[in-house]
Every structure is written in structure tokens, then in C-alpha cells.
Structure 1
Amino acid sequence: MKIAAAYIRVSTDGQLEYSPDSQLKVVRDYAQKNGMLLPESFIFQEEEGISGKQAEKRPAFMRMIGMAKQKPKPFDCILLWKFSRFARSRRDSIVYKTMLRKQLGIDVISVTEQLGDDELSLLLEAVIEAMDEYYSINLAEEVKRGMLEKVSRGEPVTPPAYGYRIQEKRYIPNSETAPVVRWMFEQRAQGISCKEIAQQLNEMGIPTARGLRWEARAVEYLLQNPVYIGKIRWNPHRSSGRTRNTATIHAHRGKP
């Protein structure tokens, strides 16, 4: 009897896809009908929302690959709901499928896109991979265009800055935190350092928006946020952690 593993992933890109439980049910049914054993310990499931673009950023995927390299091999195949669950990048698909199939003798099977071992099936799988990557790239561009359109109208595209809340696509002062923002600006205008402001906030028991203690860098970042002078800062491009092409657009808001 063949031993199978299962890889389950659900993204948050708005596509119509099965829930993790539904994907697993389809995979289990396939394993049962084909006489395969699917142990619970060989079910690898990502947390919801994990992107399929980069394998290195998928903990469950990398754990599965690490286990697949063990000798003797722990399972004979990896079952997927669709090939798109395995990867959204042709590079990752080629690298990991080649390693699994040719080096480790572990097949990768889509239970809803069943293909054979003939040349036509290889071509169809390559087409599926290309379409999956195109979908991912196109979706990212569509999302970016939609966000840029919102920003150009001064509408928020991120959670509101400290001191504000969002109502009807507008920044509205938050009655609880807006006075804190004013106080911070007043303190800084008097020459009080960001470190001292953070210390005072912590002593007064005032947390950050995330409920954490204030640090000097958090105070400095807040005071440099252009939203407090009526503009939105949005970064449509990021590279290696560095921001490029920062867009600053006038926002619809009230004074904090």
C-alpha cells in the first residue's frame, strides 16, 4: 500500500477555493479510492492566508520538503487539491517537483487535475503552472491598481493612523486617542525627546494602537506620519525592505 502525504493551503486572494477542511476531504476520498494510506502526521496545512508565491515563506511546505528528504522516504506521493496549492511560481514548481519526483521518487498529484506520465500530460501540467503564475501576477497588479485609485481619491487603504478612526471612507478623529496625538506633538515642539515622550506615555499607562508599550522609534514614526497634515503615505513598491516610489496624497480627514 502506498503511503501518501497531503499539502493544504488556502490563500486570501479572493479566488473561489475550497476551505482547508473541504480540500482535505477531497484528498482523503482520493486516497481511499486509490488504496493509499494517509497518516495524520503527514498532513501539512498552512495557516490561512499564506501566499503560494515563495516556498521559503511557507512553514508547512518547507517542513514537508524536509521530511521528504529523509531516508528511507516517509511517503510515496504528495496529494493536492489543485496544483496551484503546491506553488504559484513556475520556478518553485519546477525546482521542488523535479527534486521530489526525480531525486526522491515522490510523486506530486493533483486529485482534481489528474494527469498521466505521457508527454501530453507533462505539457498540460506546464500549462497549468504557467496559468497559475499568470493569475497570481495579474491579481497583484489588479489589487495595486485598485489601491492606487483609492489613494488618488484620498481614501484609506490601511488601518487608520493612531488618533483616527475610519467612517464612510474618511478619517475621523478618535475621541480617546486624538488628544494623545496632540499632546505628543506639543511635547515634541517643546523639545522633549521621543524617548522621553515614550517613557511618559508608558508611565501614564497609555498603550500603542496594538496594545504595546511605546518606544522612541514608534513615537518618531507617528510624529513623521503625513496623515496629521492631511496627506496619505502609501508605498506601492517595496524592495528588500526598502521603500521606493512613495506616494503622498491628500486625505479626507478631520484634525486629530
Structure 2
Amino acid sequence: MRTALYARYSTDLQNVTSIEDQFATCGAFARQQDLSVTTTFHDAALSGASAANRPGLRALMRAAKARSFDLVLCEALDRLSRSQADVWAIFEDLRFHGIKIRTISEGDIGELQIGLMGTMNALQLQEIGRKTRRGQQGVARSGRHTGGCVYGYQIRREVNAAGEPIRGLRSIDEAEAEVVREIFRRYAAGASPRAIVADLNARGIPGPRGGRWNASTINGNAARGNGVIHNELYRGVLVFGRQTWVKDRHTGKRQARARSTEDVIRTEVPDWRIVPEPLWLKVRARYEENKLGSQKRSSFASVRPRHLLSGKLTCGVCGGPMIRSGSEQRFMCSWRRERGEAACSNGRGVKGGEIEARVLAAVKDRLLSSELVAVAVDEARRSSEREARELALGRSKLEKELSEVKRRAERLIDQVADGALTGVAVKDRLGILETRRAELEELRRPPLVPRSL
């Protein structure tokens, strides 16, 4: 039987050889089972919470669609996914292509294993997250940092009585700390973030990431506590838990969500103080004075207006983006404005109305000739025909998937009626199928065309 091996480990903190170890174990198991290993797939340092961001798994599913193998073998079911919804979808898709799943831990995988092990893996994923948060909270309460090294500090290396490294220790980097104090002093004295970073860049002082400073590096986001002037670590207070991260199952991307105030942990770390309290309070007072109030904010549009050339112009000197600014809405170099003259020597600007008029005149002169119009019309016709073919093909695929979803739902109902399947997992899977069925039926409906008067 043609067999594909799949291996995965979760984070970059684990041993890279984990993939090789899994393949070696699965290979030995395959030889015992008289299986012929024809291909392998793997995902390194990627979580099993979502199937969307794993290129190895996507490649496996594409190969399954091409019938490149008959069996998927992995160490355990949680290597494929820890998400109950995803593992059901993987199982159903592979079964649709006539491909079985076998693991060393659970053996041949069927509906029962998917229901039981999928639930257990999902609960284990939640438990891992809970224990991780608990550990980070303990680190924060003990006055140790849980993240990367903040500008102004350096990692302090110590070991405990057992000889193990103590993580999260920091000490003040005096050279960077003096830059932080300068930023606070100048901001309190009335200097703008743009003026401050322009001077820092002109003096060749590297930013937190080694490159140039940006105004946003200083301004940051007050609600999230990032940005130099909002980071309470500089006043000797370690803040943990302002936000949490949730993962979108469809994209695999994480999104930040604000936590409630009672979940935020604040720990005094006086040895880490860089900015004196009076200076910190002066900066807070000036920031509050400059912050746009509700009346000022209402006079601005909630979304900046987009213009004809928005995002289409670049600076001819540094290659940075051109933005509109000022009462005359002049286009100017964004990098010079945000980073100062050291980033770009181009201090010239052009009125937005003038450059738009020149562009439109050039379009009219060069692109609206009879020959070019004929070419454009012909290309539009071909594009319309191509879109019509793609629409027909897409509708055919839509109808095919809808029929398959209905078939799967009916098969689950029959198995429940026969007593072959029971439990919450079946109910959840049926709910997923019904939701997808409703989505497909909605997509199948023709768009509403307004009636002519």
C-alpha cells in the first residue's frame, strides 16, 4: 500500500530533529506493516491549532487529491491537528479521495477515533494554553520579563541552585537608557515625536530594531502600552496581560484582543526604572493635552479619504512612499517627514491638484487614441468571456461541493439512526456540515438585479 508519512512539531523551542525522529519511528512501523513509503510531508515549528497556516499539510492534501498515495501514516492523530473541526475536515476529505489514516498510537482512524481523540486533543490544546498563561503570570509576578528584550535593557544571565538558567532577568543598558531619558525630556519640553526622531536619525543613533527611528516608535499606542512614551517599564512597573491572542481557524493568523483590567498583572520592578517619576508624569500630562478630544475628533473623517494617486507615487530620491499633507494637500516624501532629513534629502513637494491634472492629461493624450481604445475594447471583451467561463466553472464546482456536503450529512444521519455513531462530536460535525451547506446555497443564489423604473 502506497503510504505518505506526515510529521509536525509545534514551536521553535522544540528540537529540530523531532521531524527526523518522527519519520524514523513511522518508517520502522511502516516496514513492520509491509507498507511502501512513497512520500513524506512535514511542518516544523507550527502549531496544530489551525490547518490553514501549514504548507506541509496543504501539500499533503493536494497530493491526496491527485491520488498519489493510499494511506497517511503519522505518530499520533494530534500531529495532523489538535482542532476538532480541522481533524474532522481532514478525515472527511481524505476519505472522499479513498485514502485512510493510520497512526502508531491509535491504529486505523475511523469516526469513533476522530470523535474521541479529536475531543481529547482539543481539550489538551486548551489545557496547554491555560498552563502556559499560568506560567507566564507567575514569571510576571516574580518581577521577570516574559517577552523579548525591550529597548533600554539587556538580558542578565544567572543560574539557580540547580544550575538551570533563570529566564526573564533584565538589567539597564546605560547607553540606550540615556536615549530613552532624552526622548522623555524633549517630549516633556514640547518637542514633537517627528522632531525627536529626525534628530536621532541625523546623529546616527540606531533605533530599537537597529534601523532608523520612526515617529510611531515614540508615539506608539497608549491603550496597548507600546511606544517609548507609554511603556511603564521605564518607570519601574512591569505590566503583563493587557491583551491576548486568538487564532483565526480559517487563516491561521493571530489577532490581538484586549483583556479585562482584572486580568492585567502589574509588578513593581524599581531596579528597572529608567525615567524618574516627575518626568514620567510630565510626559503623561503633555500627551493628554495633545490627544484629540471627542469634539476635535468628530471634525475629521473616521477613514482618511483616498485620492486618485494614493499609494501610487514614490520619492525619486529615497524610493519611499509619497503622502498628501498640509492645507494645499501637497505630495511629499513620507520617510523624510516621519524619519527626518537624515532619511531623505528631498524636501520638495508638489500640489496634489497639479500632479493629478498632469497625470490625467497624459492619460488622455497617450491612452485615448482610437487604436488604443480598440485594443482596450477587444481586451475587455476577452476578459468578459474569460470571467463568464470561470463563473460557469466555479458554479459547477459549487454544485459539486454542495452535493458532497449533503451526502456527508445524510450519511452521518443514517449512521446515527442505525446506532453506529453517537455523542457530541457527531452533533458538532453535523452542525459544521449544515453551516457549510447554508453557505453554499447562499452562494448559489443569483444576485438581485434592481427593477428598472
Q: Give yes or no for TM over 0.5.
A: yes
Per-residue deviation, 1:22: 0.7
Number of the residue aligned with 2:126: 137
RMSD: 2.8
Residues 16-64 of structure 1, C-alpha deviations (whole Å, 9 max, x = no match):
998111101112223334343334xx3222122x110111122222232
Q: Secondary structure in 2 aligned to 1:213?
A: coil
Q: Based on CA coordinates, which of the two structures has the bigger radius of gyration?
A: 2
TM-score, normalised to structure 2's length?
0.49
Say whether the 8 Å CA contact 2:153–2:173 is kept in structure 1.
yes
Per-residue deviation, 1:123: 2.8
- Cα distance change, pair 254–218 in 1 and its aligned pair in 2 (3 A): same
Deviates more, 1:201-210 or 1:14-23: 14-23
Number of the residue aligned with 2:149: 160
Question: Which runs of structure 2 are paired with 1:38-77 in the superposition (5 Å)?
Answer: 38-39=37-38, 42-48=39-45, 50-70=46-66, 73-77=67-71
Number of the residue aligned with 1:110: 103
Residues 139-189 of structure 1, C-alpha deviations (whole Å, 9 max, x = no match):
111111222233234332122321013446554211231112112222322
Say whether the 8 Å CA contact 2:11–2:44 is kept in structure 1.
no
2:239 aligned with 1:233, yes or no? Answer: yes
Say whether the 8 Å CA contact 1:6–1:43 is kept in structure 2.
yes
Per-residue deviation, 1:15: 9.1
Number of the residue aligned with 2:184: 185
What is the percentage of aligned positions where both structures have the same residue? 27
Q: Any unmatched runs of 5+ in structure 2?
A: 159-167, 220-226, 247-254, 275-453
Number of the residue aligned with 1:97: 91
Find the aligned partners of 2:43 and 2:215 in 1 and give their Cα distance.
35
Q: Any unmatched runs of 5+ in structure 1?
A: none
Find the aligned partners of 1:14 and 1:162 in 2 and give their Cα distance.
23
* Number of residue-to-residue matches in the alignment: 245
Say whether the 8 Å CA contact 1:154–1:249 is kept in structure 2.
no
Find the aligned partners of 1:75 and 1:82 in 2 and give their Cα distance.
19
Say whether the 8 Å CA contact 1:227–1:251 is kept in structure 2.
no
Say whether the 8 Å CA contact 1:231–1:248 is kept in structure 2.
no
Number of the residue aligned with 1:242: 257
Say whether the 8 Å CA contact 2:233–2:272 is kept in structure 1.
no
Per-residue deviation, 1:191: 2.7
Find the aligned partners of 2:71 and 2:83 in 1 and give their Cα distance.
20
Say whether the 8 Å CA contact 1:163–1:173 is kept in structure 2.
yes
* Residue of structure 2 aligned with 1:78, choices 72, 80, 87: 72
- Which structure ranks higher in relative contact order (CA pairs < 8 Å, sequence separation ≥ 6)? 1
TM-score, normalised to structure 1's length?
0.82
Deviates more, 1:224-233 or 1:4-13: 4-13
Per-residue deviation, 1:232: 2.1
Question: Which runs of structure 2 are paired with 1:196-235 in the superposition (5 Å)?
Answer: 196-220=195-219, 221-235=227-241
- Cα distance change, pair 75–213 in 1 and its aligned pair in 2 (3 A): farther
Per-residue deviation, 1:6: 1.8
Number of the residue aligned with 1:255: 273
Say whether the 8 Å CA contact 1:155–1:251 is kept in structure 2.
no
Q: Secondary structure in 2 aligned to 1:56?
A: coil
- Cα distance change, pair 22–154 in 1 and its aligned pair in 2 (3 A): same
Say whether the 8 Å CA contact 2:136–2:146 is kept in structure 1.
yes
Find the aligned partners of 1:143 and 1:52 in 2 and give their Cα distance.
16
- Cα distance change, pair 114–18 in 1 and its aligned pair in 2 (3 A): farther
